[in-house]
Structure 1
Amino acid sequence: MIIMVMVDTSSSNVYLNQDAKTLVQQTLTRGQGKLNDTGALCIQTGKFTGRSPKDRFIVRDEITSDTVDWGGINIPIATEVFDKLLSKMNTFIRGREIWMRNCYAGADPSYRLSVTVINTTPWANLFCHHLFLRPSDREMDNYKPEWVIFQVPEFLADPDIDGTRQENFTIINFAKKMILIGGSAYTGEMKKGIFSVLNFVLPHQHGVLPMHCSANEGEQGDIALFFGLSGTGKTTLSADASRKLIGDDEHGWTDRAVFNFEGGCYAKCIDLSADKEPQIHAAIKHPALLENVSFKDGTSTVDYSNADLTENTRAAYPIYHIKNAKKHSIGNTPKNIFFLTCDAFGVLPPISKLTPAQAMYHFLSGYTAKVAGTEVGIREPQPTFSACFGKVFLPLHPTVYAELMGEKLKENPEVRVWLVNTGWTGGAYPAGKRISLQYTRAMVQAAIQEEFALQTFRPHPYFGILIPEACPSVPTGILNPRNTWENKLAYDRQAQSLAELFIQNFDQYKAEASEEIKNAGPKLIQVAL
């Protein structure tokens, strides 16, 4: 049995590399969860039902001091604070049950990390079984641990003594190759902690572009990537019965391939239905893990519309629960890239084609909008700009990733980049309506199948992005968003307002951006008041 040097398991009851069925049973035996009517294990993560970005720290040392983009996203913490918390956590687990798992992050053997996870609940270890890559028996015999995740939700820090902001914390230490997690049982902290590690290691050491995107593959080996923030449709649009799923959230792009970082999927479940998302719905079976869901009264049937605990209900399952998932999660270089945005202002077209310069501009912008009701205190749409569609996971400056993306597009000029609005049309929220998923799927399919090749495109008057004049199986009237608004002047004012927000946000990148990229942004047009 592998015992990590920096984690003292000598007086603990250790369960090593338990299979999924055993972990489910151990959870049930300890009264920590229950099965739903499809056999999935349902648990609650307690106080935290999502990540806590303000409590995620990186140890500032010789490795990170001059490389990490320090600030509100990457918050520095001293090595001494890390060491003190590690010592306290070691003391805390004495005599307790712990679960350990050896796994990988990265399907390409040339770039993967060996990750040993240490948990204090069997269901957290089940999550790691599903979301990380599972070594074969031969790989397990030769397994050498490299990184450690030490997750102890029951351990609470004392901010006044321990140097944290509050009782919960996630701390990444690149020198010791460890992630400490305390005070929060939300499993996504482990997944995104390793994603942040890869976002540092891959560009910095290997020149590989890490990406917050999903990926699938067509019969001819053509790869499509879907970038987007939470709720924009990455998982939904990549789960296509006619294409093989490579992965739903995290990937790397080398000089020859795209590869998945993970061994499973972590899908949002709010309002999930078999009609709208059949593959995801079917994947939630034994031994999938359901987090923070509620049941219909008197049954073991999940009520996916119920958000009493959180809007961020989640399902974690191994990728092979998706019927047409690719066995080895590696594909060719991409042929189509889709930037997904949920534009609650009803301004952006449902699909548009981007020039390489526009692709760089929108990649750095990473725009979407939060809608009223999704978070406490939000009463009207709020724009959100997250560089590279995942700024909260980027230890390096966003321009590092943007430059890598630019290099990839120059090396692969055949790649087509599209901006897809999965948000509102016919008016801003709530006056307008959400663009039909059926139409979005049809437009994505048309792009993949090159059905836009013979179409005429016209530039958007404010954003300059190229709008097709027709698309199979989609009403022509919805392609140009201005045509869907009854009050055209109101649309122009809204478009002007959104353009101004883009320009203001991009000011932070102007010094590093080329003239071509700066000129690819929206233009302001005089609008009547």
Structure 2
Amino acid sequence: MLSVYDEFQPFITALRHPPCRSLLRDLSNQELAAIASFESVPNNQGSALYVTRIRSRSAAFTEIVYSMDEEALSLLKQVWDYLRWQQMIRVTARIGAHDKNPMIANMYVTRRYARIAHMFAANFATEADQDTADIVTVVVPEWHQRKILVFPQYRTTCILGSDYYGETKMATLRMAMHIAREELGGVGLHAGSKIVRVNTPRGLEEKGLIVFGLSGTGKTTITTSDHGLEAPEGVEVLQDDINLLLPNGKALGTERNFYIKTDNVMKQPEILAAASHSSAIIENCWVDDDGNINFNNHALTTNGRAIVFRDKIPNTSEKIDLDRVDAILFNMRRYDTPPICRLMSPEQAAAFYMLGESTITSAEDPSRVGQAKRVVGFDPFIIDNPHVNGNRLLRILRDNPHIKCYIVNTGRIGGRDGANMTPDVTFKAIVGALSERINWKYDDILGCEVPEALDIPNAEQYDPYTHYSREEYAQIMGALRKERKDYLVKFKGLAQEVISAV
């Protein structure tokens, strides 16, 4: 019996190989920049700088398509009829390292929007043009209707009416993460990665680190920081955004260069130098009357972006994969927990992955500051069945017991006006955990382990019992635990051990 997809196979073939008047292939970065130069805003930095019509992801316009209906077919036919008269650009890119059986991705875009091809080719490692690919993304920014159609069965995304590069990037990586889950037995992680070399009781060791966190929780700051380490200790920065965790405890990187937010870049010296280099490709950032790029001026959007080249960021190399994951950090900007806590079990770690928790900031909603916000896996790009991701992470952690998991609080403790978790506090807490210099004790109210002491000035101000009595703290954490469990039970199919772990 033919499935709906078999019946419409010719249409899906057209989707993966869109018809067009002519196709430009194997263009260099310089050639793509030249085609897109008419859109670049002049600036003293000498960077390509583009201003888009759509300036953030179009989540509300995104549809996961499993069965083809007449409406979808009619729309696709209209798109193909239009594309038959258009010249398109195809960029073939590699998702992953060249020596690790990488996925191949083809991105098609109409020539009028060559800047998207320019950014895609700079973001990923390009390959010689290939007619077939594991992942296909078709971008028609000028389409009059905004709609993002995701076809997971055919590893294809059609982006209509959005010229925001982040939509194209994440369409490609969303599908790569889906393939990691469905075909590789792994799980895609919306997280940064690095190697930290630290002295442990056994001598100098390398620790592979995965860093989760919602926007504003310090994921990029932690990922790119050198933690104040001096040789022979140090760090090697691998990825800023997406990793693919495999069943054997390795993590595959996905991007050659980094696509960063610029709203806070002035406070991140490691990133600022790269964003200020002429090689950076800037998106939706202000240029003043004198031609200077002002990252602090958010008149266009607070979601300014830049593609920065990894060789312009300190402590990077050509390496993008983690051969061994040793530690996972869940960044949670809260107002009531210590700088770092160690989770007790794979079940607890899977629970906090599913919670994907942070708190609402004043910039988001002043009336709801401190309230929890949750995104499963810290990842708004999971295509379907998020409980499968949680169960998969649980299995990987059980099969790789050497992986330690931690909660990192990058907010405050003692309420909204409590002690601030400065980056220095966070960096020292992480190094203390990785170097095994922290002695841990179980906290029955938090339900996990906390440091007996931290090697930081005024360490007592980061102890919750400096700010709360045991009774007060038990009441706060008890209410939070109930809230968390009520959230987790909504995921049908999630392992009961995960739900019980909070």
Which TM bucket (shorter chain)? 0.7 to 0.9
TM-score (norm 2): 0.85
Q: Which residue of 2 aligns with 1:187?
A: 165
CA separation of 1:175 and 1:492: change in aligned 2, threshold 3 A: closer
Deviations 1:266-324 (CA, angstroms, capped at 9, x unpaired) = 21111322xx42221122223322222123x4233332222222222212234333243
Is residue 269–residue 312 contact of structure 1 (8 Å, CA) maintained in 2?
yes
Paired residues of 2:387 and 2:492 also in contact (CA < 8 A) = no
Indicate the residue corresponding to 2:30 in structure 1: 21
For residues 318-352 of structure 1, give each alpha carbon's deviation from its aligned partner in whole angstroms, at most 9, with x where no partner exists.
43332432313122221111011122xx1122211
- In structure 1, the residue matched to 2:484 is 502
Alignment match, 1:130 = 122
User: 1:259: how far off?
Assistant: 1.0
| CA distance in structure 1 between the aligned counterparts of 2:296 and 2:46, rounded to whole angstroms | 19
Counting only pairs closer than 5 Å after superposition, residues 404-443 of structure 1 correspond to structure 2 as 404-428=392-416, 431-432=417-418, 434-443=420-429
| Conserved 8 A contact 1:151-1:182 | yes
Q: Indicate if the aligned counterparts of 2:249 and 2:324 stay in contact, CA closer than 8 A.
A: yes
Residue 247 of structure 1 and its aligned partner are, at CA, apart by 0.7
Confirm whether residue 38 of structure 1 aligns to residue 45 of structure 2.
Answer: yes
Q: 2:315 aligns with which of 308, 321, 324?
A: 324
Q: How far apart, CA to CA, are the structure 2 residues paired with 1:198 and 1:8?
A: 24
Which residue of 1 is the match for residue 436 of structure 2?
Answer: 450
Q: Residue 6 of structure 1 corresponds to which residue in structure 2?
A: 17
Query: Is there any run of 5+ residues in structure 1 with no aligned partner, and where?
Result: 62-77, 158-167, 522-529
Q: Aligned partners of 2:214 and 2:77: how far apart in 1?
A: 36
Amino acid at match of 1:468: P
Structure 1 300/17 Cα, relative in aligned 2: closer, same or farther at 3 Å?
Answer: farther
Question: One-letter code of the match for 2:362?
Answer: A
Query: Structure 1 299/489 Cα, relative in aligned 2: closer, same or farther at 3 Å?
Result: farther
SS of 2:192's equivalent?
Answer: strand
Unaligned runs of 5+ in 2: 1-13, 198-204, 227-233
- Corresponding residue of 2:358: 368
Task: Tell me the equivalent position of 1:291.
Answer: 283
The 1-side partners of 2:121 and 2:129 are apart by 17
Instruction: Determine if the alignment matches structure 1 residue 472 to structure 2 residue 455.
Output: yes
Distance in 2 (alpha carbons) for counterparts of 1:511 and 1:154: 41
Post-superposition offset of 1:124: 0.8
Report the AA paired with residue 52 of structure 2.
Answer: T
Pair 321,16 (structure 1): closer, same or farther in 2 beyond 3 Å: farther
In 2, distance between residues paired with 1:378 and 1:112?
46
Give 1:340-359 correspondences, 5 Å limit. Answer: 340-343=331-334, 346-356=335-345, 357-359=347-349
Q: Which amino acid aligns with 1:361?
A: A
Q: Distance in 2 between matches of 1:474 and 1:269?
A: 31
TM-superposed deviation, 1:459: 0.9
Q: Distance in 2 between matches of 1:5 and 1:396?
A: 21
Q: Identify the match of residue 372 of structure 2 among 379, 383, 395.
A: 383
Question: Any conservation in 1 of the 2:177–2:244 contact (CA below 8 Å)?
Answer: no
Q: Are 1:231 and 2:238 counterparts?
A: no
Q: Structure 1 counterpart of 2:241, which letter?
A: D
Deviation at 1:235, TM superposition (A): 1.6
Q: Is the Cα contact below 8 Å between 2:92 and 2:129 reproduced in 1?
A: no
Distance 1:218 1:492 in 2: 35
The 5 A counterparts of 1:138-157 are: 140=128, 144-157=132-145
How far the C-alpha of 1:445 sits from its partner, in A, is 2.0
Number of residue pairs aligned between Structure 1 and Structure 2: 470
Contact 2:91 2:126 in 1 (8 A): no
Tell me if structure 1 keeps the 8 A contact 2:351–2:501. yes
Counting aligned pairs with the same residue, the percent is 22
CA distance in 1, matches of 2:175, 2:169: 10
2:490 aligned counterpart, secondary structure: helix
| Separation in 2, partners of 1:458, 1:129 | 49
Q: Which residue of 1 aligns with 2:235?
A: 243
Q: Which moved more, 1:415-424 or 1:14-23?
A: 14-23
Equivalent AA in structure 2 for residue 289 of structure 1: I
User: 2 CA distance for matches of 1:203 and 1:424?
Assistant: 35
Q: Distance in 2 between matches of 1:18 and 1:474?
A: 54
Once the two structures are superposed, residues 139-198 of structure 1 have per-residue CA deviations (whole angstroms, 9 ceiling, x without a partner) of x277743432111111022xxxxxxxxxx1111123443211011111111222122212
- Counterpart position of 1:107: 97
Partner of 1:524: none
Structure 1 partner of 2:385: 397
Residue 118 (1) aligns with residue 96 (2): no
Q: Which amino acid aligns with 2:488?
A: F
**Aligned-pair Cα RMSD in Å:** 2.7
> What is aligned with 1:307?
298
The corresponding residue for 1:51 is 57
1:34–1:43 Cα contact (<8 Å) kept: yes
Q: Which residue of the partner structure matches residue 175 of structure 2?
A: 197
Cα distance, 1:450 vs structure 2: 2.0
Q: Distance in 2 between matches of 1:280 and 1:143?
A: 36
The answer as to whether partners of 1:247 and 1:319 remain within 8 angstroms in 2 is no
CA deviations over 1:119-153 (Å, ceiling 9, x no partner): 23122112211222323xxxx27774343211111
**Distance in 2 (alpha carbons) for counterparts of 1:96 and 1:234:** 41
Q: Is the contact made by 2:391 and 2:494 (CA closer than 8 Å) also made in structure 1?
A: no
Task: Tell me by how many angstroms 1:89 deviates.
Answer: 2.3
Report the AA paired with residue 439 of structure 1: V
Question: 2:5 — aligned with what?
Answer: none
1:216 and 2:194 matched: yes
| Cα distance in 2, alignment partners of residues 511 and 84 from structure 1 | 36
Tell me, yes or no, if the aligned pair for 1:442 and 1:474 is still in contact at 8 Å: no
**SS state at 2:169 partner:** helix
TM-fit CA distance, 1:365:
1.2
* Structure with the higher fraction of residues in helix conformation: 2
